[in-house]
Amino acid sequence: MTNRDIFSQISQQLGSLLGQAPSPADLERKVRALVQSGLSRMDVVTREEFDAQAAVLSRTRARVEALERELETLRQQVEGAPGPDA
Protein backbone atom coordinates (compact mmCIF):
# COMPACT_ATOMS: atom_id res chain seq x y z
CA MET A 1 0.00 0.00 0.00
CA THR A 2 1.45 3.37 -0.96
CA ASN A 3 1.50 6.44 1.26
CA ARG A 4 -1.08 8.03 -1.04
CA ASP A 5 -3.40 5.05 -0.50
CA ILE A 6 -2.92 5.28 3.25
CA PHE A 7 -3.73 9.00 3.28
CA SER A 8 -6.76 8.41 1.09
CA GLN A 9 -7.99 5.71 3.44
CA ILE A 10 -7.42 7.94 6.48
CA SER A 11 -9.25 10.78 4.77
CA GLN A 12 -12.25 8.58 4.02
CA GLN A 13 -12.36 7.29 7.58
CA LEU A 14 -12.10 10.82 8.98
CA GLY A 15 -14.98 11.91 6.77
CA SER A 16 -17.08 9.06 8.07
CA LEU A 17 -16.18 9.95 11.68
CA LEU A 18 -17.13 13.59 11.17
CA GLY A 19 -20.44 12.52 9.62
CA GLN A 20 -21.32 10.65 12.82
CA ALA A 21 -20.81 13.82 14.94
CA PRO A 22 -19.30 12.11 17.99
CA SER A 23 -18.46 14.03 21.15
CA PRO A 24 -15.23 16.08 20.95
CA ALA A 25 -13.41 13.72 23.32
CA ASP A 26 -14.56 10.67 21.37
CA LEU A 27 -13.63 12.32 18.08
CA GLU A 28 -10.14 13.16 19.36
CA ARG A 29 -9.59 9.60 20.59
CA LYS A 30 -10.76 8.08 17.31
CA VAL A 31 -8.75 10.49 15.15
CA ARG A 32 -5.62 9.85 17.22
CA ALA A 33 -6.07 6.07 16.84
CA LEU A 34 -6.72 6.46 13.12
CA VAL A 35 -3.62 8.59 12.52
CA GLN A 36 -1.43 6.28 14.61
CA SER A 37 -2.71 3.31 12.66
CA GLY A 38 -1.95 5.06 9.36
CA LEU A 39 1.53 6.09 10.45
CA SER A 40 2.35 2.59 11.65
CA ARG A 41 1.72 1.31 8.12
CA MET A 42 4.07 3.88 6.60
CA ASP A 43 7.86 3.77 6.52
CA VAL A 44 8.41 6.39 9.21
CA VAL A 45 10.58 6.42 12.31
CA THR A 46 10.33 8.27 15.58
CA ARG A 47 12.44 11.36 16.24
CA GLU A 48 14.44 9.36 18.79
CA GLU A 49 15.23 6.63 16.24
CA PHE A 50 16.20 9.25 13.66
CA ASP A 51 18.45 11.10 16.12
CA ALA A 52 20.12 7.85 17.19
CA GLN A 53 20.85 6.89 13.58
CA ALA A 54 22.09 10.41 12.80
CA ALA A 55 24.53 10.11 15.73
CA VAL A 56 25.76 6.74 14.47
CA LEU A 57 26.22 8.18 11.00
CA SER A 58 28.14 11.16 12.38
CA ARG A 59 30.52 8.90 14.34
CA THR A 60 30.97 6.65 11.32
CA ARG A 61 31.71 9.62 9.07
CA ALA A 62 34.32 10.90 11.53
CA ARG A 63 35.94 7.46 11.67
CA VAL A 64 36.02 7.18 7.87
CA GLU A 65 37.64 10.63 7.61
CA ALA A 66 40.26 9.64 10.21
CA LEU A 67 41.01 6.42 8.31
CA GLU A 68 41.32 8.36 5.05
CA ARG A 69 43.86 10.69 6.67
CA GLU A 70 45.76 7.71 8.06
CA LEU A 71 45.73 6.00 4.66
CA GLU A 72 47.05 9.16 2.99
CA THR A 73 49.86 9.39 5.57
CA LEU A 74 50.80 5.75 4.94
CA ARG A 75 50.63 6.28 1.18
CA GLN A 76 53.01 9.24 1.45
CA GLN A 77 55.38 7.19 3.60
CA VAL A 78 55.42 4.36 1.06
CA GLU A 79 55.93 6.73 -1.87
CA GLY A 80 58.74 8.54 -0.03
CA ALA A 81 60.50 5.35 1.07
CA PRO A 82 63.55 4.25 -0.94
CA GLY A 83 62.92 1.36 -3.30
CA PRO A 84 64.59 -2.06 -3.03
CA ASP A 85 67.20 -1.01 -5.63
CA ALA A 86 68.40 1.96 -3.56
pLDDT per residue over 48-67, tens digit each? 999 999 999 999 999 999 99
Residue numbers of the domain that contains 14: 1-44
Q: Is pTM beyond 0.75 here?
A: no
Distance of CA 19 to the CA centre of its chain: 36
State whether 49 and 25 are in the same domain. no
- Please tell me the total count of domains within the chain: 2
C-beta of residue 31 within 8 angstroms of C-beta of residue 14: yes
Instruction: Tell me the pLDDT tens digit for each residue of 29-43.
Output: 777 787 777 777 777
Cα 7 to Cα 11, 17, 21, distances in angstroms: 6, 15, 21
Distance of CA 74 to the CA centre of its chain: 36
Say yes or no: 39 and 77 in one domain: no
- Judgement on whether residues 11 and 21 belong to the same structural domain of the protein: yes
Q: Are residues 37 and 56 in the same domain?
A: no
